[in-house]
């Protein structure tokens, strides 16, 4: 039996999704643990923080405490999942498991979840589509063998073949990824007893698959408190190639 890991973003009537529209470019990350919620707001601007705290109190959430940490304010709130249609309620209703944090930014909520049944993951997506705009950012199947070790390790490296893993590991060990580069692919291929083209094919496929697997995590990370959050994650449209002369 496999696991299904999905990454979504959704819009619907929820206090912190609404708040994220009022403080554009300020990602708000939330963790829900038992009867408490931890809210991370990467901002030091007093006006922004006042707006956030006002929205918290308007939603009926009590700010138990807050602390400053490296231009970030952390709020500890009383959980009000029973009062609002929270993401956790929706995920639980679909019999899925959420993978915190949820990130609220520019009117969207970004989050991940896992399920033991593909139909459950589809149901989860339908539930959010029924509430408003929703987009499936990524969906992947993971074998149960990843548990109880690490879902995350397998989600990054599970699609690699043995030859691709070896090609990548050898490149790292021999200094291919240092700057300046200490070795060429031709030298690594010779040490492994394969042609340069064969080795480069294994290496490039390994790199491409790892980068593709990293994108859902990068999407969440850049929606968090990192300066790279200002960078676009979608490729700009390519200009058409000039027509070749007849």
* Domain regions of the chain by residue span: 2-143, 159-230
Give me the pLDDT at residue 227, please.
47
Is the N-terminal amide bond of 128 cis, ω within 30° of 0? no
- For domain 159-230, the CATH class is mainly alpha
- Most distant CA pair in the chain, distance: 73
Give me the pLDDT at residue 90, please.
92
Distance CA 7, CA 124 (A): 11
**pTM greater than 0.75:** no
Low-confidence ranges of the chain (pLDDT < 50): 148-149, 225, 227-231, 246
Give me the pLDDT at residue 130, please.
95
- Cα torsion 210, 136, 230, 102 to 10°: value is -100
Look at residue 131 and give its three-state secondary structure. Answer: coil
Distance CA 207, CA 235 (A): 18
Cβ-contact 110, 147 below 8 angstroms: no
Cβ-contact 107, 134 below 8 angstroms: no
């Amino acid at each position: 039996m496999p696991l299904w890991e999905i990454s979504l973003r959704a819009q619907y009537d929820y206090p912190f999704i609404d708040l994220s529209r009022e403080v554009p470019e300020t990602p708000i990350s939330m963790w829900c643990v038992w009867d408490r919620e931890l809210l991370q707001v990467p901002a030091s601007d007093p006006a922004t923080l006042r707006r956030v705290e006002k929205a918290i109190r308007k939603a009926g959430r009590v700010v138990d405490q807050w602390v400053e940490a490296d231009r970030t304010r952390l709020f500890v709130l009383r959980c009000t999942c029973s009062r609002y249609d929270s993401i956790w309620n929706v995920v639980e209703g679909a019999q899925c498991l959420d993978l915190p944090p949820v990130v609220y930014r520019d009117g969207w909520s970004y989050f991940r979840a896992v399920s033991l049944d593909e139909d459950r993951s589809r149901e989860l997506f339908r539930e959010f589509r029924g509430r408003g705009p929703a987009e499936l950012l990524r969906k992947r199947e993971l074998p149960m063998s990843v548990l109880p070790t690490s879902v995350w390790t397998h989600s990054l490296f599970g699609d690699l073949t043995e030859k691709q893993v070896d090609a990548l590991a050898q490149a790292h060990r021999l200094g291919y990824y240092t700057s300046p580069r200490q070795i060429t692919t031709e030298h690594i291929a010779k040490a492994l007893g394969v042609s340069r083209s064969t080795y480069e094919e294994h290496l490039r496929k390994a790199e491409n698959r790892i980068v593709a697997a990293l994108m859902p995590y990068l999407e969440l990370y850049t929606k968090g408190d990192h300066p790279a959050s200002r960078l676009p994650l979608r490729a700009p449209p390519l200009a058409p190639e000039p027509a070749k002369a007849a």
